[in-house]
Amino acid sequence: MGTTASHLDKEALSEYQVNVLHKLLKKKSCAHRKFRELQNKEERSNTTSRVPMERINELPELKSNPFKERICHVFSTSENKDGSLTFEDFLDLLSAFSDSATLEIKSHYAFRIFDFDDDGTLDYDDLKKLVNCLTGESEDTRLNDDEMKQLITNILEESDIDKDGTVNLSEFQHVISRSPDFVSSFKIVL
């Protein structure tokens, strides 16, 4: 795996959902250029170098996204869980958010993004954090405790099919699979 796009062999490329990206890579690599812009000079020479999360989040595509830190954590393969990304991880991210990724892939990654404590289920605290991310983090934009409680009770009532107090991946996908809007909104285009 070299530093330039041409080193990615074709066979490997075709495995990504990034059809758009695929084209871009042929055109001297938009994604790669973007990624290189984030890297330092010494990092550029190193193929497996990681870009820290803070710099990834500077990208305009992610900047205003409330889930940007979670996204980095989910796609990072770093061992010390700091959310830093290699170029490969970056491609993974783009392919999951691309046009041609299937509903299943998207819902899978969405679940992992929403699962704040990485325990494989969305429990009360995950949902609370999720709602707070959606409404805005600051004190005056948050829902108050009563509202939050009522809301989460409603969510669990609807989507917690096996009534164990958490939403697991299959229940999550069950909800998502019936939303026609999800595929079009779970998308990041460079």
Partner 1 sequence: MEDHKTVQFMRLLSEDSIGSTLSSDSCEYYQTEIYDLLPSVQAVRSLHGGYDTQESHGGPEPEESRGPRDKMSQHPLRNLAMSMHGKRDARERRKMQISNNGFIKSWSRSQSINRKRIQAQVREMGFSLLPWRHILLKIQARFGVGVKSYFVFLRYLICLNLLHCALIGGFILGPTAFYGRNRTESLRFNKNDSVLDFFLGSGFLDRSPVFIGFYTPGSLDLSCLNTPLLYLAGILSIFAFSLIIAARRTTVGYKHTWMLEKRTSVNVSFKIFCGWDFNIQDPAAAMLKHSFIRNDLKLFLEEQSFSLRKAQRTLGQKVRLYLLRFILNLVVLSLLGGAFYLIYFSTMLSLTESSDGWFLNLVLQYLSPITITFVNLILPHMFRKVSSFEDYSLTVQVNATLVRSIFLKLASLGIYLFFVFKTRQTQQEKSGCRENQLGREMYKLCIFNFIATFCSTFFVNYPRKLLQEMYPTSLLARLLGKQRFLIPFNVLDLVYVQTVSWVGVYYCPLLPLIGVVTLVATFYIKKFSVLRCCVAEQRMFRASNSSVLFHFMLLLGLLMAAAAPVLDYYQSKQPNTISRISCGPFLNQESVFNVTNKCVKRLPSSAQTAIRYLSSEAFALPLLLAEIILLTSYVSRGRANQRAIERLKDMLVMCSSDKRYLVKQHATMLRGQKNAKRGRPVAVEQKTPLPSHLAAD
CA dist 116 → 47, 74, 111, 125, 127 (Å):
30, 10, 9, 8, 9
Is residue 35 at the binding interface for partner 1, with CB under 8 A as the rule?
Answer: no
Is residue 143 at the binding interface for partner 1, with CB under 8 A as the rule?
Answer: yes
For the CB of residue 22, give the shortest distance to partner 1 in the complex, in Å: 10
Is residue 30 at the binding interface for partner 1, with CB under 8 A as the rule?
Answer: no
Residue from 127, 129, 139, 145 touching partner 1 (CB under 8 A): that is: 127
Residue from 2, 27, 41, 163 touching partner 1 (CB under 8 A): that is: 163
Is residue 37 at the binding interface for partner 1, with CB under 8 A as the rule?
Answer: no
What SS3 string covers the chain?
Answer: CCCCHHHCCHHHHCCCCCHHHHHHHHCCCHHHHHHHHHCCHHHHHCCCCCECHHHHCCCHHHHCCCCHHHHHHHHCCCCCCCCCECHHHHHHHHHHCCCCCCHHHHHHHHHHHHCCCCCCEECHHHHHHHHHHHHCCCCCCCCCHHHHHHHHHHHHHHHCCCCCCCEEHHHHHHHHCCCCCHHHHCCCCC
For the CB of residue 50, give the shortest distance to partner 1 in the complex, in Å: 14
For partner 1, give the closer residue by CB, 42 or 140. Answer: 140
> Interface residues for partner 1 in 4-23 (CB under 8 A)?
11-12, 14-17, 19
For the CB of residue 180, give the shortest distance to partner 1 in the complex, in Å: 4
For the CB of residue 154, give the shortest distance to partner 1 in the complex, in Å: 5
Is residue 109 at the binding interface for partner 1, with CB under 8 A as the rule?
Answer: yes
Is residue 58 at the binding interface for partner 1, with CB under 8 A as the rule?
Answer: no
Is residue 110 at the binding interface for partner 1, with CB under 8 A as the rule?
Answer: yes
